[in-house]
Amino acid sequence: MFEQGKVSPIIPIKLQPSIKADVALYLLRLDLTDEYVSGNKWFKLKYNLNDALLLKRKSVLSFGGAFSNHIHALAWAGKKLGIKTVGVIRGEPEYASNPTLTDAARWGMELLFVSRSEYRKRNEIEFVEALKRQFDDPLIIPEGGSNHLAVKGASEIVTKSMLDQYGFNHIVLPCGTGGTLAGVAVSQPEVSVLGVPVLKGAEFLVSDIQELMSGARCSDPGNWSLDYSGHCGGYGKTSKELIDFIEQFHCDHNVSLDQIYTGKMMMRLFQLIENGAFSKGSKILAIHTGGLQGLRSLSTS
């Protein structure tokens, strides 16, 4: 079985006295779950990998960008479980020397680099069938790991006992494909869940999230929404404001945030709190979804 490393603590985040809002903010430290399969990755991969073991699949194949947290986590999990992994990577083979893919290759992942136009075919039947033939019929996990089994795993991120203990009425998390939000929202229908997409023009995520929920045979509790203003220019884009925020957050709270997901989510959450978007007395749980390995891309991009 693919078992979780450690229990993730919840820590209070003290807001600056200049922020007048009367709300309480806490952070669920999923980044501390496992040294390498950290954050939401462990939850999204858990049932996919257990299926691979159960079905005695020889290998698992998935897709990602050159700095993908998902590819990095999958490679490590594959090594731990003794399952061969294949990563179909968008971009040129030169990326193989970046820290993310160096780790992945060191942990035994076979890397296949494809052009951006080929990568766009990743959900097309013919393309997938060709990959299956090339790699001896691997179990295929979609980009970012988001499928019905990921939703099932993500539904275990926030537990009822966490809500009972702290009385949270809001949960906030970053969104890429929306799989994590889908799982969290269906598991806690009484709580408002806010997702901060890290890509520009992410309105399509609404229907993607609804599809992910129905694929997992869950009805949409209607307790979630998306805030489209936290992307800082688009996926992978950073700004001086974001980098300064991440540094300041580390100084104030001794917690590292990454620049792709958690930094953007937390910066936007602070803005929303300052702008009075949460009513007096709100208890907010932000989710640190990990991704800290991606910080290493800052020095090479």
Ligand X SMILES: Cc1ncc(COP(=O)(O)O)c(C=O)c1O
Q: Which is nearer to ligand X, 220 or 274 (CB)?
A: 220
Task: Tell me the backbone φ, ψ of residue 134, rounded to 5 degrees.
Answer: -65, -35
The span of 77-85, 115-123, 245-253, 283-291 binding ligand X (CB under 6 A) equals 283-291
Q: Which is nearer to ligand X, 179 or 230 (CB)?
A: 179
**Residues 114, 115, 120, 125, Cα dihedral to 10°:** -40
Binding-site member from 64, 65, 174, 230 for ligand X (CB under 6 A):
174
Binding-site member from 87, 144, 230, 263 for ligand X (CB under 6 A):
144
Q: Which is nearer to ligand X, 59 or 180 (CB)?
A: 180
Place of tokens 């640190």: 288
Report the C-alpha gap between 21 and 90 in whole angstroms.
43
Q: Which is nearer to ligand X, 138 or 178 (CB)?
A: 178
- b or e along 124-142 (b: 16 or more beta carbons within 10 Å of the residue's beta carbon)? eeebbeebeeebeebbbbb
The token pair at 269 is 């959450």
| DSSP 8-state secondary structure symbol assigned to residue 223 | -
Sign of CA dihedral 55, 59, 65, 70: positive
Binding-site member from 67, 168, 224, 261 for ligand X (CB under 6 A):
261
Q: Which residues inside 26-85 make contact with ligand X, applying CB under 6 A?
A: 39-40, 69-70
179 binds ligand X (CB under 6 A): yes
Find the shortest distance in angstroms from Cβ 283 to ligand X.
Answer: 22
Find the shortest distance in angstroms from Cβ 276 to ligand X.
Answer: 26
Find the shortest distance in angstroms from Cβ 232 to ligand X.
Answer: 15
Find the shortest distance in angstroms from Cβ 173 to ligand X.
Answer: 7
Edge-first strand order for the sheet with 84-90 is: 110-114, 84-90, 59-64, 139-141
Strands (E) located in 105-245: 110-114, 139-141, 170-175, 192-197, 224-226
| DSSP 8-state secondary structure symbol assigned to residue 33 | S
Find the shortest distance in angstroms from Cβ 288 to ligand X.
Answer: 9
User: Which residue has the closest beta carbon to ligand X?
Assistant: 291
* # binding residues, ligand X (CB under 6 A): 18
| Chain residues that interact with ligand X, rule: CB under 6 A | 39-40, 69-70, 144, 146, 174-181, 261, 289-291
